[in-house]
Structure 1
């Protein structure tokens, strides 16, 4: 009975020593028995830990359970030993068909257990309990000292000591554990008896140390079978999948996780002089990040770690001592370098691999083929990928990532790219997580290839969608993913929903997504003719229905409609081949600008949009502003007009800086607002001007501080402010022309 703690290098070495000494004919391992047929893959050349056994329900792939194993896991060490020495390998835990049928399937056997007499809510950590009994408050450090960092002359001594300690704990907590543990242990005993009938006592069992007392307890087959009778079950499929060190860490949420998988892997692979080798790794990492670390730093850090271990009474410098030494010697007392070491080495981004012979759903196989052909390798470490969609391979990568997002496989997320913001540039943040295998299995119900599955999913969503904005978003995503076969169904559904929807706000919310999608036709070589017709029809209906829909709105509805107004304006600008539509939209904005029943924020915004498009002269904008800010206008409505005209990040602040007439109008109106009304409009104005750049706010403050428009007012303030003058100085302006020609690479005129 080799009772271990999962994922411990000392436990793994002890298991190997015990197996070498005992030479069993059969090795029984805690794990799902359905995986017996997969165990031979562990000896394949393409199998590199960390890996995990994945079980998922055939009818509900999202219901899944994992059994992770690292190179330093005792179970993995036992499997590899058995395969190398011709011993039989069998898994003896509760079958996955029952585990997946439970209401809460877990990834693995957790290191915490509940006692029967303590109540179902209380959890007991055996390692923490043993450490506390030994007088230690740090369970991880105690375990390292007594197991991971010590050798043993008798290969079976550590297991006997742990079994005795776990027996005492189970005695103290009611001879058992969680009810699920009792069922699991009953199945383990049944499998153990079957192996003993076949191989006699020449059998080794590798399992969590907590279970050893239960497996040694005498019982009857009848009693064990009674515990297993009537358990729910589902049809399950199992395979090997890659795992990561990061997913073995406790902070990832894994029940049987460890604090430092990278450190444990180092201890297992470097049993001789581990501290020296570790410090050398750290030095290499820091040098790669351009930090000044020399051989002298390595020597001094090793000496300090060994000295700290001696002072603290530890058999060998552990993670705590090496961390303190790195901070003091290589990091000059700072945690900046230490954070890098923790992330890259203590935890690490190691990603395992599995051989092609491992079972997989067809969708997984197609994805692996695409990853190879597109040279898009899955990596555990997060990285950014910049794509130029004018290149065939980058465009294909983009389509793959967008199709996976449609299917709910979140390998990558779009991010704001570096450099050009054109539609031919795209940036992604990628990280491969083990859970993606479950997402792929779930998506497999839609098809056997990524393209077919994404197409089927999109068509299903189009048929079920009853929200216009949702289906326009779906059309945009289909274009990004290059799903030409799905577009007819999506556009048909879009046309139907648009024809039935009479809410102008819904139409205005839907149009921007369609207009954005039209831009993809050029760079992605996608035919958007049908989409353009739908978008144009939608824009026509908005032009008809928007003016009445903007009348008599409250403040919240007006603010929401302002966003819709901006979105529609941008969308119509993208429909570049419809000049008549642009003229019609300008007419809509003129009607909004002149209607008194339209809220001030919308009237002000309409004036600003017309001014920016060159369809209003500054004099006309000033006239409308004067009307909106006249003494007879309600202060709240006037404040809304100001927000619509100069609010947000649309350059309204610079407009006021450079046009003293507009600034004077705002200044005069604000000076005439009564004290009571001023209290009401102040929050709105603060929100408007807070969006300006600090330099713009400072300049505006200087201008209005010098008084109202007129002599000594904003115009005079502009003249007195550095950088502004009533008239341009042509001589000073001409002085910069030679420099501009040098920058532009043009010839200076004679």
Structure 2
């Protein structure tokens, strides 16, 4: 088979097919060259430890894009990927060899050496582009981009455009020679290697020495029928004559680590540079289309785009497709290109189908040009036991990994949804971020969760790393939780871990976590840390109730923690600076909500926590040594709970704002604490006295102090809703006298009469009766009040409406 001995059909030696990784033009050329040469063995750039995995490429369950994953056995986080798409020349070469019964082997530097280079350089093992992507594996070491150099020599300012013109838009073997593209590319790379040498990366010299040794071994075994598929950058070095001793000398003393390899799913997004992984292509979806479209690629592409836009309710007709094709061809002719490329098709889509807008064009780029395809790997592929258990669980719960981001709504009252939630929480505990909690819209109940799911290839590495904790997701999460509890440095971390254990359904880990939590809580004297830890415990109690998890021990610890906060909070709030006072105010809000929920949880041996909390708030609200923002917040919390009358609240505000000993800054801080946050604006809208007090104080602030308090007040009032700010501005503009007049006799709220409007109240009664199931005559159901009847001896004051609603 003499033809297989010739490089590009010229000269003696193995058949060297220099390619661009992930290049559809190179893939087509490789297939044509192999069909013509019919070699006895196909050697491919890749880790030789994966040779036993090559037959899996022909499995029916294998769907590219996929990647070879190599990781260190003792340190799974040290890993490297070799991604392959359907249009990758290496993938085409593998399939050709499997279909024709020819052996296929990987001949790149073994992963055992690649991974031993260190964690920071682990990704050097990722299959690089044909020298076209700068490789910064070593600090300050930059590798040239041969495609860019060739494009600039040809007068192009875009390497992708040059590659499309000279390779993708040229037919394979147009001159009748299937090896002609490889001959031309080898000549170009030879000229570049003569100028740049190794291109600034000495590691290539080691890799090429190993590849030459493997080629020699294959030639001894198979004679002249050897074909090599590798990055075009390496072809001149593989062609160069070198002695066996010199090559072995370069490989002597290389570090090693034990490695495991397997196939893992990959995504189009990870093939693109936009994802941060330099696989060498900006548009994997476009390249996949070029590889799969046997004829009329532009027309077929425009049809895909039209289908996508129509699915998104965009008005796109066949006429749009025709005009887009015509415009793309016209642009290609004007720009001197043999066929429309991605630039021309994108410009045509923007002008015709998107009507000049980049908004729908961004959708085309995301869904088609890049794409959200996720590959598949057969179940027979080797994997760590944890990965196998995760795969089985995903199938049982019908949670298929997808590359596209999606939201998942879970109802924890349903068994399947509860198991899904526990799985996602366990994976988060293991550092496998497949799902992230998201805000739930439409429901505030604790029985509902919303997750944002997106599977990334790196998660396979995280699964391998987590395999050290156990062989199943449950066992691994339990062991990880126990270890994290023992190693936790602060109380908040342990309380957060207790919450995660309940969410993830880890009953075996809870005893250890609770023991560590009780020990840390007993020894911690920092009230701020105790206050920070309490809300997480209370949330755990709520979720435990929803999920049916026993929480008696947790309730006991939470109640004891709350008592320590109640005792230590008043003295801890004295003498705080501005930043510390603001942080303490946030702790105050969190503890207030936690105590409100904890008051419903039975904890033997603990008294009425709500009453004791109200007593602590009263102390904070009346102590002069407590910062103004904390005193104001304490008064506000008491008012919200009904523990402080409105008259008393107005009196306390008046004392603070009118006292000569209170500085303007401290008064402004008190106002921020009292009316800042949720509901503070409405409090001022509906209580004229409080608004008048703030207004009178603000107008009386001396000019020299006004500049100091203004930022604090702006921060307070800017947090209100736009409608609340507008109403407050209108009330202030009217002035105190106008407000009193509008309310009638100085009482009420502007816009409201002194007495209810009975006519307007009667108008809504029929609707209320209908909603409550009452008869048209006001017949009452069992347990209803007086319905819509007027009170005896007086006019209808709205009691009928209230009674019906009740």
**The two structures share one fold, judged by TM-score above 0.5:** yes
Residue 17 of structure 1: aligned partner: 32
SS in 1 for 2:104: strand
Contact 2:742 2:750 (8 Å CA) reproduced: no
Match of 1:308 among 310, 316, 331: 331
Tell me the residue number matched to 1:323: 346
For residue 249 of structure 2, the aligned residue among 226, 237, 243 is 226
* Unaligned residue ranges in structure 2 (runs of 5+): 1-15, 779-787, 789-806
Do structure 1's residue 646 and structure 2's residue 669 form an aligned pair? no
- Measured after TM superposition, the shift of residue 275 of structure 1 is 1.4
335-344 or 5-14, which moves further after superposition? 335-344
1:614-652 Cα distance to aligned partner (Å, 9 max, x none)? 111111111211211223222222211111111112x11
Q: TM-score, normalised by structure 1?
A: 0.96
- Quick check: 2:687–2:749 contact (8 Å CA) kept in 1? no
Distance 2:200 2:225 in 1: 29
After TM superposition, give the deviation of residue 467 of structure 1 in Å: 0.1
Moved more, 560-569 or 676-685: 676-685
Per-residue deviation, 1:661: 1.4
C-alpha change, 1:114 and 1:375, in structure 2 (3 Å) is closer
SS in 2 for 1:233: coil
SS of corresponding position for 1:390: coil
Cα distance in structure 2, aligned partners of 1:700 and 1:733: 27
Cα deviation, 1:443-470, whole Å, max 9, x if unaligned, reads: 1111110010010000001111120011
Q: Aligned to 2:658, what secondary structure does the other structure show?
A: coil
Asked whether the 8 Å contact 2:144–2:199 carries over to 1, the reply is no
Query: In the alignment, does 2:57 pair up with 1:77?
Result: no
Map 1:481-560; keep pairs closer than 5 Å: 481-560=504-583
**Secondary structure in structure 1 of the residue aligned to 2:735:** coil
Quick one: distance in 2 between partners of 1:716 and 1:693?
A: 28
Query: Would the alpha carbon gap of residues 229 and 271 (structure 1) be closer, same or farther in structure 2, given more than 3 Å must change?
Result: same
- Pairing 1:90–2:105 present: yes
Q: Tell me how far apart the structure 1 counterparts of residues 182 and 71 of structure 2 sit (CA, whole Å).
A: 33
Report the equivalent of 1:401. 424
Aligned residue number for residue 6 of structure 2: none
Q: State the distance in 2 between where 1:231 and 1:214 align.
A: 20
Could you say what secondary structure the match of 2:122 adopts?
A: coil
Query: How big is the shift at 1:711?
Result: 8.1
Q: 1:488 to 1:739 in 2, by over 3 A?
A: same
Does 2:646 correspond to 1:631?
no
CA distance in structure 1 between the partners assigned to 2:462 and 2:528 by the alignment: 36
Q: Determine if the alignment matches structure 1 residue 191 to structure 2 residue 204.
A: no
Partner Cα distance (1:577, 1:202) in 2: 79
Query: For the Cα contact (< 8 Å) 1:115–1:174, is it kept in 2?
Result: no
Report the equivalent of 1:600: 628
Bigger drift between 446-455 and 626-635 goes to 626-635
- Pair 1:670 & 2:698 matched: yes
Q: Of 86, 98, 102, which residue of structure 1 is paired with 2:117?
A: 102
SS of equivalent to 1:238: strand
Compared with structure 1, are the counterparts of its residues 717 and 647 closer, same or farther at alpha carbon in structure 2 (3 Å cutoff)? farther
Provide the aligned length of Structure 1 versus Structure 2: 748
Deviations 1:702-738 (A, max 9, x none): 2223334698689679989973334443333333333
Aligned twin of 1:6: 21
Task: Evaluate the alpha carbon distance shift between residue 582 and residue 144 of structure 1 in structure 2; reply closer, same or farther with a 3 A threshold.
Answer: same
Determine the structure 1 residue equivalent to 2:52.
37
1:746 shift after superposition: 4.5
Instruction: Indicate the residue corresponding to 2:730 in structure 1.
Output: 702
Which TM-score applies when normalising by structure 2? 0.90
Deviation at 1:569, TM superposition (A): 0.5
Could you tell me which residue of structure 2 aligns to residue 586 of structure 1?
614
Q: Does 1:132 align with 2:152?
A: yes
Compared CA separation, residues 341 and 392, structure 1 to 2 (3 A): same
Gaps spanning 5+ residues in structure 1: where?
none
More moved, 302-311 vs 423-432 = 302-311
| Inter-partner Cα distance in structure 2 for 1:338 and 1:176 | 37
- Deviations, residues 165-199 of structure 1 (Å, cap 9, x unaligned): 00000111136651000000000000000001111
1:249 and 2:272 correspond: yes
Asked whether 1:687 is paired with 2:715, we answer yes
Distance in 1 (CA, whole Å) between partners of 2:596 and 2:236 is 75
Aligned position for 1:617: 645
Deviations 1:471-518 (A, max 9, x none): 101111111111111011001100000000011111111101001111
- Are 1:710 and 1:716, in contact at CA under 8 Å, matched by a contact in 2? no
Deviations 1:253-312 (Å, cap 9, x if unpaired)? 222330111111111111211112111111111111111112222222222222222332
Q: Which of 60, 64, 83 is matched with 1:49 structurally?
A: 64
SS of match in other structure, 1:66: strand
Q: Is the 1:114–1:120 contact (alpha carbons within 8 Å) kept by the matching residues of 2?
A: no
1:391 aligns with 2:410: no
Q: Report what 2:764 is aligned to.
A: 736
**Conserved? CA contact 1:466–1:497, under 8 Å:** no
How far off its partner does 1:408 sit? 0.4
Asked if the contact 2:41/2:103 (under 8 Å) is kept, the reply is yes
Bigger drift between 583-592 and 371-380 goes to 583-592
Contact 1:366 1:450 in 2 (8 A): yes
Distance 1:492 1:294 in 2: 67
SS in 2 for 1:519: helix
8 Å contact from structure 1 (residues 112, 124) kept in 2 = yes
Q: 1:373 & 1:244 partners in 2: Cα distance?
A: 23
Residues of 1 paired with 2:691 and 2:197: CA distance? 81
SS in 2 for 1:207: strand
Whether the aligned pair in 2 keeps the contact of 1:3 and 1:210 (CA below 8 Å) is yes
My pick for the range that moved more, 583-592 or 308-317, is 308-317
